[in-house]
Each structure stands twice: as structure tokens, then as C-alpha cells.
Amino acid sequence: MNPNEEQVPKEEAPAGSSSSAPHDSAPQDSDSVPGETGPAQGEVSARIAGLHAQHAQLRGMFEGTGKRRGKPLGGPAEYDRVYVTQLLKYGVTEGDEIADAVMARPDGHALRRGHSYAINLVEEALGVARAATAEQQAGEQERFAEARTHADFMVDEVRVIESDATRYELRIKGKWLVLNAKQLTTQMEFRQAYLNTFHRVPGLPPAKGKKSRLWNDLVNSWLAAAQKEVLVGNATEEEVQRRAVEKAKNAIATKVDPAGLHDDMAYETSGRRYFTADAVYDRVKQLDRNFKHRDVARILAGLGCEYDANYPAGERSIPVWSEPLASAPGAPGGATGVGAQPPSGSSSGSDQSGGAAGEAVTP
């Protein structure tokens, strides 16, 4: 085997003896692309390989066969540059990942130039992209500012509650305006929802003409500053309302005197906590303008609360709901459905069953 290895260079040497350096270097470059250090297409990251499969134009730029306006690009260097730009367009921003992909291009141009060449291409493209983004954001802020001048109210806070029925909540002068997607994007629907909440017609950007785009800019300015809350699972509107009711009842302030129930306060005694449906409703209504009073009883019953139509509270009785205190989960309930021992005159037993079913309580 050794004699054969010695014989090969002796036979090839005369053929290229007149210009050995140029003839030797060119084959080395071309041979290195598929084998020695040049990665094949499959060696790009899994994410970029997926993009190649999805986007024929990007794949064409990688392979050096893509066209612009029906014509091939000017050469390998331009394919390198355009390929980097398109990767950024598709959301790939990691410099090393892009550089490795450029050096994996089959024509081997970037591979021969070296890793620093690929990195410089990426940094140059990132710089251009950042400048374009900054310019776009500046223009967007100018449009947002102009759009706000056409609204005669200020939005202090925005929340997007994502579920199967996503809702948009705008806090204006301490009150929440709750909207669905149609109410948010349609001026007429928005005006009506605003009127129902604040009892006045709002001033808004023109609905027609050249400046009609300002309505979209105004809405986008609100959404740009929105806080997002994603409800776990595929929450229905019923689940959204249930959570709102639960949060509202827990937020009711407690008073030591049962007469406070008449003032939408809660009252705690003998291991139970008492509150009125009105106290819950008023709090939920601030968050959801579409919430109905008749839904309070149904949801409270579903949460395990118990109803008493005539609970003694000071000088006169009042309809109340109650639940065990968290600190006393085993508080006695009794047949009446009211765990506390109210003053004589309470008629909880006769009305509790209907209230728990959500039928004895009416708005």
C-alpha cells in the first residue's frame, strides 16, 4: 500500500508542474464545501431547516438559485446578504445560528471567506433592521399621538383578558369599560358601549376620509400598553364571570355590626361570613358592564354559598348570602343553611333551598 501512495503524486506532479499553486488551491476550496469543513444543508439548525421547508424563496436564496423580479442575483456574495436578511425577516436573530447557516450554503462562498465574514454580514443586517425598527416605532408613536388628540378622554389602564371570548378592559376616570373585539374595533359599537357606561357620547377620530386610519392608530395605542392575562385552559364566559364574582365577594370590607350589611359591607359571626348580592354585583359591574344582577344568585350558589331571605341586620331584615370563614371551615351550618346563630326572627330555613337553586333571588 505504501508504494501505491508514493506513486500517485509522482504521476500527478508533471501534469500541473507549470502552475502548481493556482491549480492546487482551487480544487481544495471546492472539495472543502461538501466534506472537510463545509456543513451540508441538513447541518443548519432545526429551526432554519424548518423555515427552508416552509418557504421556497428562502430555500432558493440558501441554495443560490432564487430570483428577484424574475432574475438571478448578482453572485454568491449577494445571495449571502439576501439570505441573512430573509432569516431576520422570519424571526431568526441569533448571530451564531445565522452565521452557521450562511457558511452552510452549498456554493461555499461564505465558508471560504471564514466565520468572521459571516458574523459581519449578520451584524450589518441586524444594524439595518434595528434602524428600520426604530424608525417604524418613531413613526408609530407620532401617529398614536395624533390619534389621541381626536379623543376627548384619557385611557389610564388597559387589560386584555384572553380566553375563548377575549375581552378588552379600558380604565377611564376610575371606571372600567369592558369591550369585546367588535366593540373595540368598530367606532359605532364603541360609542354605544361608552355611552352605556359613562352616559355621554365620546369624541373620536373621523370615521371616514383620509384620517379614518386614526381610529386604528388610537386602538393600537391602547393595545400597545395593555397588560395581558391568559385564563388557564379554555375558559368560557361562565368561568370568567365566576372568577369575577369570587374576587368581588372576597373584596367586600367587613364590619363588626350586622347593620353594615345595609351599606354593602360584610359581617362575620359564628364561623360564617355574610354579604349581600348587591355588594357583589356593584363590584363585578365595574369590571364587566355586561354582567347582569340575575347572574349573582346562580353563580354564588355554584360557589357553595347559602341564601337567607330574611337575615336580621339591625332594625330590619335583609336578604343575604353566606359562606364558611376560611379560618373555620367546619363551622356548623344547621338545617337553615345559615351557620351563624342569628337573632330570633330569622327565617332562613324556608327560603334557603330556593335561593341556593338561584330561583328565590331576583334582580
Average predicted confidence (pLDDT) for the chain = 77
Average pLDDT, stretch 84-88?
90
pLDDT at 231: 62
Encode the chain in three state secondary structure.
Answer: CHHHHHHHHHHHCHHHHHHHHHHHHHHHHHHHHHHHCCCCHHHCCHHHHHHHHHCHHHHHHHHCCCEECCEECCCHHHHHHHHHHHHHHCCCCCHHHHHHHHHCCCCCHHHHHCHHHHHHHHHHHHHHHHHHHHHHHHHHHHHHHHHHCCCCCCCCEEEEEECCCCEEEEEECCEEEEECHHHHHCHHHHHHHHHHHHCCCCCCCCCCCHHHHHHHHHHHHHHHCCEEEECCCCCCHHHHHHHHHHHHHHCCCECCCHHHHHHCCEEEECCEEEECHHHHHHHHHHHCCCCCCHHHHHHHHHCCCEEEEEEEECCEEEEEEEEECCCCCCCCCCCCCCCCCCCCCCCHHHHHHHHHCCCCCCC
User: pLDDT of 170-227, one tens digit each?
Assistant: 989 888 888 888 999 999 999 998 998 889 999 998 878 777 789 999 999 999 888 8
Task: Check if the beta carbon of residue 339 is closer than 8 Å to that of residue 271.
Answer: yes
CA neighbours within 13 Å on the CB side: how many for 328? 14
User: pLDDT of 281-332, one tens digit each?
Assistant: 988 877 676 788 888 999 999 899 999 999 998 889 999 999 998 754 444 3
At residue 339's C-alpha, the angle toward residues 337 and 343, to 5°, is: 100
Residue type, 107: D
Average pLDDT, stretch 5-29?
41
The span from the CA of 153 to the CA of 169, in Å, is: 15
How far, CA to CA in Å, does 94 sit from each of 3, 43, 180? Answer: 51, 16, 38
pLDDT at 37: 42
Q: How confident is the model at residue 233 (pLDDT cuts 50, 70, 90)?
A: low
Nearest-Å Rg of the Cα atoms of the chain is 36
Q: Is the pLDDT of residue 362 over 90?
A: no
pLDDT at 352: 37
pLDDT at 234: 52
User: pLDDT of 241-292, one tens digit each?
Assistant: 888 898 889 889 998 899 999 999 999 999 999 999 999 998 887 767 678 8
Residue 87, Cβ neighbours under 10 Å: how many? 25
Residues in contact with 214: Cβ distance below 8 Å, sequence separation at least 6, in sequence order: 143, 146, 147, 150, 205, 206
pLDDT at 148: 86
Average pLDDT, stretch 14-28?
40
Q: Is the pLDDT of residue 339 over 50?
A: no
Q: Is the pLDDT of residue 95 over 90?
A: no
Q: Is the pLDDT of residue 34 over 70?
A: no
Beta strand pairing status for 167-172 and 157-162?
antiparallel
The span from the CA of 321 to the CA of 248, in Å, is: 13
Pairwise pLDDT comparison (306 vs 133), residue with the higher score: 306
Task: Check if the beta carbon of residue 341 is closer than 8 Å to that of residue 350.
Answer: no
